[in-house]
A and B are shown apart, each in its own frame.
Chain A
Amino acid sequence: MRTLIFRAIAPYLTALMLLFSIFVTLRGHNEPGGGFIGGLLAASAFALYGIAFGVPEARRAMWFHPISVAGTGLLLSAISGLPSFFRGTPYLTGIWTTAPVFHFDVATIILFDLGVYLVVAGAFASIALALEDNGER
């Protein structure tokens, strides 16, 4: 698998896919996309990188263990529902506000979707990397 062409192109492809995955996640509210599909894209990016350069290199590049990324995402999603308590609305009710500069809408929903993105990316990347890995964790 590790042909020269593949190895030469893999870093650019991974970077592009990661960037695209974030783009897909953020635009998900209005156009096709969202946290789940974004997370899958990111996971494939890491899997690709792992196939090209070996798992230890991929893990070094990721910096965090993928399963902790998933855990962080779950925490983020769960926390994003808490502010609604202060409004007296049910758990996970979205709160919207307009940013003071640039005047675009921001919401707790975006945090929730980012949590979904991290969970999916982390969980699938950790499965894929662990499977690619022969012997070591």
Chain B
Amino acid sequence: MNQGTEAALLIALGFPFVGALLAPLVMLRFPRGGPWLLALAPTFAFITFAAQIGTVSSGNALVGGLPWIPSLDVGLSWYIDGLALAFALLVSGIGILIVLYAGGYLKGHPHHSRFMSFLLLFMGAMQGLVVADGFLTLFVFWELTSITSFLLIGFDHQREASRRAALQALVVTGMGGLALLAGLVTIGMATTTDTLSGLLANPDVLRSSALYVPALILILLAAFTKSAQFPFHFWLPNAMEAPTPVSAYLHSATMVKAGVYLLMRLNPVMGDTVLWETILPLFGGATLLVGSVLALRQSDLKLMLAYTTIGSLGLLVMLTGFGTETAVLGAVLYLIAHALFKGTLFMVVGILDHETGTRRIEDLRGLRSAMPLTFVAALGAGLSMAGIPLFTGFLAKETIYEALLAGGDAWSLLVLIVIILGNAAMAAVGLAVGLTPFTGSLRPTPQAPHEGPVLLWLGPVTLATFGLALALLSSAFYGAFADPMASAVAGLAVENHASPFPHVSLAFGLSLLTLAIGVAFYLGLQGMRRSIGGVLTAFGWGPDRGFDQVMRGLVTLSVRVTGVVQSGRLDVYITVAFVVVAAALWMPMLLTGELPVLPSIPQLLLHEWAVLLVAVVGLYAVVRTRNRLTAIVSLGIQGFAVALLFLLMGAPDLSFTQFMVETLSVVILALVMTRIRLEPTDHRPWNEKLLDGSIAILCGLGFGLLLLKVTQGTFDAALSAFFSANARIIAHGRNVVNVIIVDFRGFDTLGEIAVVTITGLAILAIIRIGTPQAKQEDRT
């Protein structure tokens, strides 16, 4: 790849983030033209990606990136093949329209600029996710989409429902993110690669690895939570609390497809196994049915679309896991068609809501003359969703049916029936959203209906047009876009051949059957809504309520655990700390069986024996005395004796410091004692004394043995030789100890003095909390 392309791609990936940073300024400075300026970021990305179509469609993949920590092989890296490019084009292309749409939709909102900022941030994350090559890049952008989605869903943060929905989405997708991290690590362990390109280069390594099953479970958990598969589907309808541009972009066209993207990406390396081809159709099918049924019971247009999105995601997962090349072709076509028609319909619902003040299907009729452009867009998208010939939705449906008819066994038949039912329900919803609000005689709405401004209708009209044009120009669309993408998913070159025009075949017959059932559903929509609602109310419990129960359970559990672990008693904490210290000292020596050899009694001079005696007398006094103050001072005597020993053995620096530390310890301990008003004498019962005494002896003995062991080992003098040799030459100092502290290992010292400062601050804070005067101030 030449440098110009690499630079352009880098700018394309970074531009949305820069745009997000500048959005508040741009919107403040140019309130009218701001959205147009901000749309430059996705436009640039779209053009850059579109320029790569030639390279990619001829079967090449673009690989590049930006190193960050080369020694760990960590950095930003991309791998752009047909799948990544198709997704990148969808993300950036729809991104342009969504930025403009959001510019009109939230016009006059006090936090309009903040919203634009979040939107661009999300866009950048999503682009990075779909082109990522390195596992780390993939994971970082994956998490970033979850976080930005949290910000966007909770945008209307003063409403409790928004906050709950945002938190719910974050918890569910965040859990998936953790699973993804673990899954990627597992894959890395199984294949010793940390890039998708490396993984795809050797497709059979992972499948034959012993770690295949754990990796599969983790990856599926990540994909299913992100793409709202049953039983994690509940967060998606709740995410409709977000402003409509968010729903159109994140929750239909892009973010929720990230899970499907992951499955498609890994299909060549994880697919083609019994597990893959059972689990995916099973969960996908359940999701499709649940989504379709729940969509039919809604009367809020936005929620109807949200539930059909769940259904569509289920369909995509089902087809990805079905295992034939034609099924992959169908999945790819459906993914593109779905992004176009669902994005359009969400924006249409947004316009209806914006211009009439309601989005309840019962209240909206006969708007065709008041909102002609919106009607055209809605009709185009609705027909595509229903799978009428000439639209991309039809291409997808034809290919899907063809794939399933080729199977010929009972399993294929079961999948086929589920898909026909799901498609029929979605056709009914497509017609309900695309036709019902615009036909019939006008009904009164909260606001007088009129066509929205250009910023609002531009997006849906463009997307709906694409939904028609791509089908009519199907051979060009296949060659540039759909075939490379499907080939990347299937792992081998495949070609589409479905035609947008009606023709005589079994697949077309099934299309007509689906449409017939769909129209029947559409006509009986009111009755079905009531009966499904009745069943659900009777049942009561659902995963959404289950989520609340789990969250409440978590809080209760953590309260209990904290209550047990954090007793609030200082003596308990200190006991635990010293038991751990004793274990850390003894365990390695005992487990490896490497206790030190007891040394023979050394030949000491008389004055050295005298100093040792002082230390022992000090210790005896500590243990024997009943007065705490005497004990503290006696401990100081012992410390001074040790400092003297250091001095005698030739460590003046150590000795000097030891003297000062002992002095200050005695002073501070005595002060603490008076401060916390301890009784002058120690009144612990004998069992406590026994426990504390044992821990103390274990700690002291353990430390002594460890020191003996260390000095008995072979001593590698390389470092001390280096320091003694170079202290004068490199660091201009004769005192090796000080030179090590301030020069050779200066960065460690910087960390240590930071700790000293923070400890000082913390102790100060603790003392202040305890003072009676501070308490009085708190009360007044």
Contacts and interface: CB of A to CB of B under 8 A. Distances in A.
Contacts of B753: 73-74, 77, 115-116, 119-120
Contact of B733 (A30, A36, A124, A127): A30
Contacts of A130: 763-764, 767-768
Interface in A31-72: 31-37, 40-41, 43-44, 47, 66-67, 70-71
Contact of A126 (B657, B660, B746, B764): B764
Interface in A84-123: 91-92, 94, 96, 105, 107, 109, 112-113, 115-116, 119-120, 122-123
Contact of A47 (B664, B759, B772): B664
A124 B741 CA distance: 19
Given A109-B743, A127-B763, A130-B768, A29 B732 contact: yes
Contacts of A67: 757, 760-761, 764
A83 interface: no
Contact of B742 (A35, A134, A136): A35
Interface residues of B, number: 43
B765 to A, nearest CB: 10
Most A CB within 10 A of own CB, among B653, B749, B753: B753
A131 B746 contact: no
Interface string A2-25: 000000000000000000000010
Nearest to B747: A92
A79 B675 CA distance: 37
A127 B760 CA distance: 6
B756 to A, nearest CB: 5
B750 interface: yes
Contacts of B566: none
B189 interface: no
Interface of A: 24, 28-37, 40-41, 43-44, 47, 66-67, 70-71, 73-74, 77-78, 81, 91-92, 94, 96, 105, 107, 109, 112-113, 115-116, 119-120, 122-124, 126-128, 130-132, 134-137
B735 A70 contact: no
A44 B652 CA distance: 19
Contacts of B660: 37, 40-41, 44
Contacts of B737: 32, 34
Interface of B: 652-653, 656-657, 660-661, 663-664, 667-668, 671-672, 675, 731-735, 737-739, 741-743, 746-747, 749-750, 753-754, 756-757, 759-761, 763-764, 767-768, 771-774
A40 B662 CA distance: 10
A33 B746 contact: no
Classify the interface of chain B: helix, strand, loop or mixed: helix
Given A73-B753, A128-B668, A131-B672, A94 B743 contact: yes
Given A73-B753, A122-B760, A91 B735 contact: no
19 contacts: A24-B656, A31-B734, A32-B737, A35-B741, A36-B657, A77-B749, A78-B750, A92-B746, A94-B731, A109-B732, A119-B756, A120-B753, A123-B760, A127-B668, A127-B764, A128-B671, A130-B768, A131-B671, A131-B675
Most B CB within 10 A of own CB, among A33, A44, A78: A33
Contacts of B764: 67, 126-127, 130
B653 A34 contact: yes
B754 A32 contact: no
A93 B129 CA distance: 40
Contacts of A107: 732
Given A119-B753, A130-B768, A33 B664 contact: no
Contact of B738 (A34, A122, A128): A34
A4 to B, nearest CB: 21
Contact of A28 (B731, B735, B746): B735
Contact of B664 (A28, A77, A128, A135): A128
Given A77-B750, A127-B764, A137-B771, A29 B664 contact: no
A10 B651 CA distance: 30
A112 B773 contact: no
Contacts of A47: 664, 667
A71 B656 CA distance: 25
